[in-house]
Structure 1
Amino acid sequence: MAQHGEQRCGELHDPGQRQQQQYPHDHGGAQADRARPRLLMLGQTAGQDRNEDDVVDTQDNLKRGQGDQRKQDIDFEQSGHGRPIRLAGAPVYGSLDRVNRPFRPDPSWCFAGYQVAPYNACAEGSPASAPRLHHPDRINGMTYRLLQRAAPLALLSLLLVACEGELQIRLTDAPIDDATAVNVRFTGVELLTEAGTAETYDFDEVRTINLLDLQGGRTVTLVSDDDVPGGTYSGIRLLIDAPSTGSESTITFSDGSEFPLVLSSAAGGSRSVSGSFTVEEDERLALTVDFDLRRSILEPTGTATAYRLAPRLRLVNDADVGTLTGRVAAAYLTDPDCDNGDDNSVGNTIYVFSGRNATVSDMDNAVDDAITFGAVELDDTSGEYSYTVGFLPAGNYTVALTCQGRLDDPVTQETIAFTSTTNVSIESGRTQTVDFD
């Protein structure tokens, strides 16, 4: 939030922090006058005499420069003398002999001793009655050529207040059964604007990420506190390198077989995830994209050998999420009705449904599907089964356990058994424990 005296997004901005100091290379004039900022007004009639009454004091309105201003000097004419005219903080030297014609840029602006400022910050009155071009000291004039050269530079040196904030984007993953690696190549991300355009952030080089490494609340950073234009966005698009032919994105199964992954829009898959978020000026926003592999990997069709990648994504604000974790008794996973492999380790899954006492069901691409999933994993050291589901927005949920998760196809409807269900409330920034004993 901009404080009193600070400039806001969209206003003119002098990039340096300004405080009072004496002009360098001053020639004449009282010491007190040299320490006070004066205005350079537009519209001075050629050859008009100037007196001290014409000078408007803007000490309350304008911020002064600091540091060694000599480093910013722009020497237009080595033969010029006199005090520099400062255009947007940069001293401009030139000959100060006479003016052959009036200089009349846009009268809604005036040049201040250290900074270009809006007209209404410089003097009262309408643009039609704009004060004349004036220098802090008595100056007989400037060459028209000098002003022609100085004005464009001054305009270029005008900077809008940086309407930017910092954005971090991380990637996490909901689990999939039977696979040992899902390597997806990412080339960048796009921020989707409400106007239908996109801000694109390409990676320096293609990043291959094994999404299975991102289960249980683990993440990888895609965008690390980058400065992005402030404003409200409608979503994020992941730039994925998985073409229909020659794809280097792959999936590897527990038997060692490996197949290419190709992008597909089947089953509602999209590289984009909707979700409005606002990047505030000078503030940091952290987001996480949940790449739900359980619903994103589709089997080949026809004679094709490539598996289809139809991304199902979920976008959350890290400030609004909590974590669900817990233990699972082995008895739930060794029941004769389980279909979880010879070692009871495949397909043990936590389904998380929105709301309390929700109807639990398999995945079938319906609106009441589980919003995310967690894998039940064996800790070889403790011998206990446990799970973690991260990045759940604060709210109420129904949590269900099944040992038949690998039977659940993301598109078709199956009947799978849930061995236990319970309700849970998630709070932002907190971890909630739910054990299945």
Structure 2
Amino acid sequence: MRTLLLLTPLALLLAACEEGEITIRLTDAPADDLTRFEIGLAGVDIEHEDGDTTRFDFDPPRVIDIVPLRDGNSITLIDAARVDADDYRAVQLRFEPPTNTGGGRPAARFNGDQLDIRYEEEEARFEVEFSIDDFDSENLLLDLDLRRSVRENDEDIGNARLRFIPQMRAVVTGDAGAIAGTLGPNVVNRAQCSPGVYVYEGFDQSPTTLGSDDPPLVSKVPRNVNITGAPYRIEAIDDGEYTIAVTCDAGIDDPDPDEVEADVNFIATANVRVRAGQTVTRDFP
């Protein structure tokens, strides 16, 4: 049985003010060999627990180079926007290929190759549960994993293009920590070592490749590699238990499940416990 209440004008005004704020930022788990990867973003949506959607449109669409958004760098997509106080369950990005990328192609490699981007999906939805209370605020971080999002086969190579199939994680910033450490000389000085650090949910997990049915949660290829070692840092890891795996075959790990899977060997693993707001350190000498 429902009870009907007669609300005064003041009560109606207060009921209408049940809002909070949301800020959404974008970061990148970078691809190995790209110096530029410009995407067009038409908008961001947040999905309520009941299935309703709050939309944020970009007019004109924003052009964002994903490559610089690494090693803790990020860009703000939504800044302290007012939204209903409610429970939410997902974030969605809406893509639109940019029509102006400064006169050049939207993607480039270290060797100077200029490439087009073919969008395989117009939208990408990522589950993340969060609540916004009245007069409260929440911060989300979207981690776009370019290592798994960029695909290329023989046809793409012939057409000087990359295929973009967005793979992303969405985390509540206040619930996340980080993993950092150094790959030491015993790792980086192995013959023809292309080092990479892979993270899997749960303790004692068997490491898998990017193109497997159960790929890593996130992976990282250190940039500053020399004979003394290679520091790495992986941001936006939810509070929980994880397995870290290290490989020297990151350079041949193909994220496309339709390609022949490369022989990727993992040389070390370790369990780590990540806590919100903290950085756990794990070195591999």
Q: Same fold (TM over 0.5)?
A: yes
- In structure 1, C-alpha distance between the alignment counterparts of 2:150 and 2:113, rounded to whole Å: 15
The answer to whether the 8 A contact 1:181-1:253 is kept is: yes
- In structure 2, C-alpha distance between the alignment counterparts of 1:187 and 1:383, rounded to whole Å: 44
> Which position in structure 2 is the counterpart of 1:334?
189
> Which position in structure 2 is the counterpart of 1:94?
none
Residue 357 (str. 1) matches residue 210 (str. 2): no
% identical aligned pairs: 27
Tell me, which stretches of 5 or more residues in structure 2 are unaligned? none
Report which of the two has the higher share of strand: 2
Amino acid at match of 2:268: S
Amino acid at match of 2:152: E
Amino acid at match of 1:254: F
Q: Matched residue pairs, number?
A: 273
Amino acid at match of 1:351: Y
Among 275, 291, 303, which residue is 2:144 paired with?
291
> Which position in structure 1 is the counterpart of 2:90?
235
Evaluate the alpha carbon distance shift between residue 370 and residue 270 of structure 1 in structure 2; reply closer, same or farther with a 3 A threshold. Answer: farther
> Which position in structure 2 is the counterpart of 1:188?
43
Output one character per residue of 1:99-151: Cα deviation in whole Å (capped at 9) or x when no partner.
xxxxxxxxx868xxxx6367xxxxxxxxxxxxxxxxxxxxxxxxxxxxxxxxx
Q: Secondary structure at the match of 1:326?
A: strand
- In structure 2, C-alpha distance between the alignment counterparts of 1:250 and 1:168, rounded to whole Å: 27
- In structure 2, C-alpha distance between the alignment counterparts of 1:420 and 1:383, rounded to whole Å: 18
Residue 371 (str. 1) matches residue 227 (str. 2): no
The structure number with the bigger radius of gyration is 1
Structure 1 residues 278-287 or 198-207, which shifts more?
198-207
Among 398, 408, 418, which residue is 2:266 paired with?
418
The answer to whether the 8 A contact 1:216-1:388 is kept is: yes
- In structure 2, C-alpha distance between the alignment counterparts of 1:172 and 1:335, rounded to whole Å: 31
The answer to whether the 8 A contact 1:241-1:247 is kept is: no
- In structure 2, C-alpha distance between the alignment counterparts of 1:256 and 1:192, rounded to whole Å: 40
Residue 202 (str. 1) matches residue 50 (str. 2): no
- In structure 2, C-alpha distance between the alignment counterparts of 1:270 and 1:167, rounded to whole Å: 21
Output one character per residue of 1:3-57: Cα deviation in whole Å (capped at 9) or x when no partner.
xxxxxxxxxxxxxxxxxxxxxxxxxxxxxxxxxxxxxxxxxxxxxxxxxxxxxxx
- In structure 1, C-alpha distance between the alignment counterparts of 2:200 and 2:6, rounded to whole Å: 59
TM-score (norm. length: structure 2):
0.86
> Which position in structure 2 is the counterpart of 1:401?
246
Please state how far the C-alpha of 1:330 moved relative to its aligned partner. 3.2
- In structure 1, C-alpha distance between the alignment counterparts of 2:228 and 2:41, rounded to whole Å: 36
TM-score (norm. length: structure 1):
0.57
Output one character per residue of 1:151-170: Cα deviation in whole Å (capped at 9) or x when no partner.
xxxxxx96743121110111
Amino acid at match of 1:292: D
Amino acid at match of 1:306: R
Q: Secondary structure at the match of 2:68?
A: helix
Amino acid at match of 1:419: I
Please state how far the C-alpha of 1:319 moved relative to its aligned partner. 1.1
Amino acid at match of 1:291: L
* Map 1:142-157 → 2, pairs under 5 A: none
Q: CA RMSD in A?
A: 2.7
